[in-house]
């Protein structure tokens, strides 16, 4: 008997099928690369074939830096995905963001906790988004927010206590963490009259803030794989199971909302406005939609604020002349009887022109919004400068790219220069200032953000000297949906102590 190796041939039909599939995939990739209306737009080679190039850079947390350097290399237009072009043309904000263009599909990710519950941010059609936003807008008005100023002050006071304690013990302080605690707690105060207790404890309870950062990376990517996201995460079964990775924040929000509904005498906070709107138009606003928008607002208003505060302190201590000049401005105000409260009042902070210029410059140098604001070219396409974009092209503007554009800000765009906000027509500069977005999708929480930023920035400059433990150290920052720098510990010195010496 002879042993022989089975020699059954591979079925020709299988080989043929694989070959056809491969040729189809290659043909499709080549078509995307060379034969669509975007073929002539420069950009990374792989980005013209597949979205995975961008997803990879979101995953490793450097997509903002990539966008900045790609625009420096290629100019106004960079193809960052087969159907998406990143734009830094000075006319971009006006043509793309101020028009009523549909938002990119990526925004559907903001339907929380699952696809059934639309929020203004997840609504793609411009008119439908505006209509939905109107239901929520009154809660975000400055006059409403100012009614809770004393409660923000209480949280900011706790931040100052921690700073005093670190100063007294001459202990390095990680301001990034304490800014995040304050920002989360103030978002809770503003939305449903309750803070999460982070700043009082001086810790990230249950690791919720850390977990929310993982969620951040996930959301940035999952927006491009929406149906998979719905299948695995954002579906009614998962909602029913209540599996949310931001534990303490979500639980506290939920309990606060329940308490809030049962208490007719509670403060007239943001939720109170929404509940009033719901009473007037019950068919337009469900309980779940209120819950979704509340969760989204806390999430949208905390890491962003922490990043902006960090950017302010970090740039100001790297430029001590600015810190001194800002303090001199505050001393002058004090001499006239202003800026005397422990936490400087919002009203007084608005008179500090130079401090405000430094805040704008800090957010210009490093803004908390690193993601491209994506809109879709309408039927008939869109022209920006000399470039025509066919219907359906996703056109995105990355605020961090725009904020560093020499065409918009001049040759010193990469340098710290708060005076740019004080000379010439400062208002004109805001047409390129996209930190809060622009147009119909502009951030509704801007007043709450500016209110806290102004008060905290002015108070810190007045009362503390801050320096890095290692002045040569640069902060570390991975960028996903948001960017929150860390790892730049500082020493704090209380200003009165220095003055008494
Ligand atoms: C410095 C702080 C902040 C920055 C830089 C910022 C920036 C932004 C940006 C760029 C957008 C998206 C624009 C777009 O996609 O076109 C946005 C949306 C949003 N922001 Fe802010 N934001 C800040 C603070 C806040 C605060 C304090 C709140 C509220 C508590 C808030 C609530 C929201 C909400 C709810 C949205 C979704 C859009 C909508 O519902 O209409 N943000 N923000």
Instruction: Find the mean pLDDT for residues 439-443.
Output: 97
What pLDDT band is residue 1 in, cutting at 50, 70 and 90?
very low
For every residue of 96-141, DSSP letters joined together read IISS-PPBPGGGGGGS-SSTTS--GGG--SHHHHHHHHHHHHGGG-
Answer whether 187 contacts ligand 1 (Cβ < 6 A): yes
What pLDDT band is residue 93 in, cutting at 50, 70 and 90?
very high
Best residue among 403, 438, 443, 456 to mutate for probing ligand 1, ranked by most atoms within 8 Å of CB: 443
Q: Whole-number mean pLDDT of the chain?
A: 91
Answer whether 450 contacts ligand 1 (Cβ < 6 A): no
- Is residue 405 a contact partner of residue 397, using CB atoms and an 8 Å limit? no
Answer whether 449 contacts ligand 1 (Cβ < 6 A): yes
Question: What's the gap in Å between 481 CA and the centre of ligand 1?
Answer: 12
Q: Which residue's alpha carbon is at the smallest distance from atom 29 of ligand 1?
A: 445
What ipTM was predicted for this assembly? 0.98
Task: Identify any residues that bridge with 384 across adjacent strands, giving them in sequence order.
Answer: 387
Answer whether 67 contacts ligand 1 (Cβ < 6 A): no
Out of 31-40, 148-157, 305-314, 407-416, pick the least confident. 31-40
pLDDT single digits (tens) 399-438 = 999 999 999 999 999 999 999 999 887 677 888 999 999 9
Rg of the chain over Cα atoms, rounded to whole angstroms, equals: 25
Count of helices and strands (H, E) across the chain: 24, 8
- pLDDT for 421 equals 94
Instruction: Give the CATH class of 109-500.
Output: mainly alpha
Instruction: Find the mean pLDDT for residues 39-60.
Output: 95
What pLDDT band is residue 501 in, cutting at 50, 70 and 90?
very low
Answer whether 417 contacts ligand 1 (Cβ < 6 A): no
Tell me the C-alpha distance between 501 and 307, whole Å: 34
- pLDDT for 36 equals 76
Question: What's the gap in Å between 119 CA and the centre of ligand 1?
Answer: 13
Out of 33-47, 76-90, 103-117, 374-388, pick the least confident. 33-47
Question: What's the gap in Å between 301 CA and the centre of ligand 1?
Answer: 6
Instruction: Find the mean pLDDT for residues 71-87.
Output: 97
Tell me the C-alpha distance between 39 and 82, whole Å: 9
Tell me the C-alpha distance between 302 and 155, whole Å: 13
Residue (of 188, 178, 143, 171) closest to 157 by Cα position: 178
Question: What's the gap in Å between 297 CA and the centre of ligand 1?
Answer: 8
- pLDDT for 9 equals 64
pLDDT at 18 over 70: yes
Tell me the C-alpha distance between 339 and 205, whole Å: 33
Answer whether 444 contacts ligand 1 (Cβ < 6 A): yes
- The 10 Å Cβ neighbour count of residue 14 is 9
For every residue of 290-318, DSSP letters joined together read HHHHHHHHHHHTTHHHHHHHHHHHHHHHH
Q: Which residue's alpha carbon is at the smallest distance from atom 3 of ligand 1?
A: 304
Best residue among 294, 300, 483 to mutate for probing ligand 1, ranked by most atoms within 8 Å of CB: 300
- Is residue 427 a contact partner of residue 130, using CB atoms and an 8 Å limit? no
pLDDT single digits (tens) 147-173 = 999 999 999 999 999 999 999 999 999
Answer whether 339 contacts ligand 1 (Cβ < 6 A): no
Both structure tokens of 112: 């929380």
What pLDDT band is residue 210 in, cutting at 50, 70 and 90?
confident
- Is residue 298 a contact partner of residue 184, using CB atoms and an 8 Å limit? yes
pLDDT at 461 over 80: yes
Who's near 254: CB < 8 A, 6+ residues apart? 291
Q: Which residue's alpha carbon is at the smallest distance from atom 27 of ligand 1?
A: 301
Tell me the C-alpha distance between 250 and 189, whole Å: 14
Percent of the chain with pLDDT over 70: 95
Q: How far is CA 25 from the centre of its chain?
A: 36
Q: How far apart are the first and last CA of the chain?
A: 104
Tell me the C-alpha distance between 238 and 234, whole Å: 7
Question: What's the gap in Å between 37 CA and the centre of ligand 1?
Answer: 33
> Three-class SS of residue 472?
coil
- pLDDT for 233 equals 87
- pLDDT for 306 equals 96
Answer whether 300 contacts ligand 1 (Cβ < 6 A): yes
358 marked as part of a ligand binding site: no
State the closest ligand 1 atom to the C-alpha of 191, by its place in the atom list counted from 1. Answer: 30
Task: Identify any residues that bridge with 230 across adjacent strands, giving them in sequence order.
Answer: none
Tell me the C-alpha distance between 182 and 197, whole Å: 9
Answer whether 96 contacts ligand 1 (Cβ < 6 A): no
Question: What's the gap in Å between 430 CA and the centre of ligand 1?
Answer: 17
Answer whether 360 contacts ligand 1 (Cβ < 6 A): no
Indicate the length of the chain as a whole number: 501
- pLDDT for 262 equals 79
Out of 16-30, 57-71, 315-329, 365-379, pick the least confident. 16-30
């Amino acid at each position: 008997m002879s042993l022989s190796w089975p020699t059954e041939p591979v079925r020709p039909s299988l080989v043929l099928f694989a070959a056809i599939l491969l040729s189809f995939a290659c043909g499709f990739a080549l078509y995307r690369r060379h034969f669509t209306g975007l073929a002539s737009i420069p950009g990374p080679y792989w980005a013209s074939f597949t979205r995975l190039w961008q997803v990879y850079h979101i995953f490793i947390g450097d997509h903002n830096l990539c966008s900045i350097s790609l625009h420096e290399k290629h100019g106004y237009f960079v193809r960052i995905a087969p159907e998406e072009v990143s734009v830094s043309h000075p006319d971009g904000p006006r043509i793309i963001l101020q028009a009523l263009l549909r938002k990119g599909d990526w925004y559907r990710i903001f339907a929380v906790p699952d696809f059934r519950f639309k929020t203004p941010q997840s609504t793609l059609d411009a008119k439908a988004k505006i209509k939905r936003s109107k239901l929520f807008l009154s809660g975000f008005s400055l006059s409403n927010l100012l009614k809770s100023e004393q409660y923000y002050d209480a949280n900011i006071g706790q931040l100052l206590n921690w700073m005093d304690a670190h100063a007294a013990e001459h202990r390095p302080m990680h301001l990034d963490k304490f800014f995040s605690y304050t920002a989360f707690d103030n978002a809770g105060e503003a939305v449903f009259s309750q803070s999460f207790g982070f700043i009082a404890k001086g810790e990230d309870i249950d690791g919720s803030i850390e977990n929310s950062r993982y969620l951040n990376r996930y959301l940035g990517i999952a927006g491009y794989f929406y149906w998979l996201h719905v299948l695995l995460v954002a579906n009614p079964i998962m909602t029913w199971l209540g599996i949310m990775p931001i534990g303490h924040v979500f639980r506290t929000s939920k309990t606060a909302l329940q308490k809030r509904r049962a208490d007719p005498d509670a403060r007239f906070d943001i939720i109170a406005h929404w509940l009033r709107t719901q009473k007037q138009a019950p068919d337009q606003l469900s309980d779940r939609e209120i819950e979704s928008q509340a969760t989204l607002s806390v999430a949208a208003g905390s890491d962003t604020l922490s990043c902006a505060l960090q950017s302010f302190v970090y740039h100001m201590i790297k430029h001590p002349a600015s810190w001194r000049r800002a303090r001199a401005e505050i001393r002058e105000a004090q001499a006239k009887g202003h800026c005397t409260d422990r936490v400087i009042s919002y009203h007084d902070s608005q008179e500090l022109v130079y401090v405000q210029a430094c805040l704008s410059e800090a957010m210009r140098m490093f803004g908390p919004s690193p993601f491209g604001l994506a809109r879709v070219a309408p039927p008939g396409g869109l022209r920006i400068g000399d470039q025509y974009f066919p219907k359906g092209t996703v056109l995105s503007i990355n605020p961090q790219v725009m904020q560093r554009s020499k065409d918009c800000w001049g040759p010193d765009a990469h340098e710290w220069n708060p005076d740019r906000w004080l000379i010439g027509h400062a208002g004109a500069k805001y047409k390129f200032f996209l930190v809060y977005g622009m147009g119909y999708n502009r951030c509704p929480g801007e007043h709450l953000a500016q209110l806290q930023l102004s008060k905290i920035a002015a108070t810190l400059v007045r009362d503390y000297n801050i320096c890095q433990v290692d002045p040569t150290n640069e902060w570390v920052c991975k960028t996903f949906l948001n960017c929150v720098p860390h790892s730049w510990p500082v020493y704090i010195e209380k200003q009165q102590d220095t003055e008494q010496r």
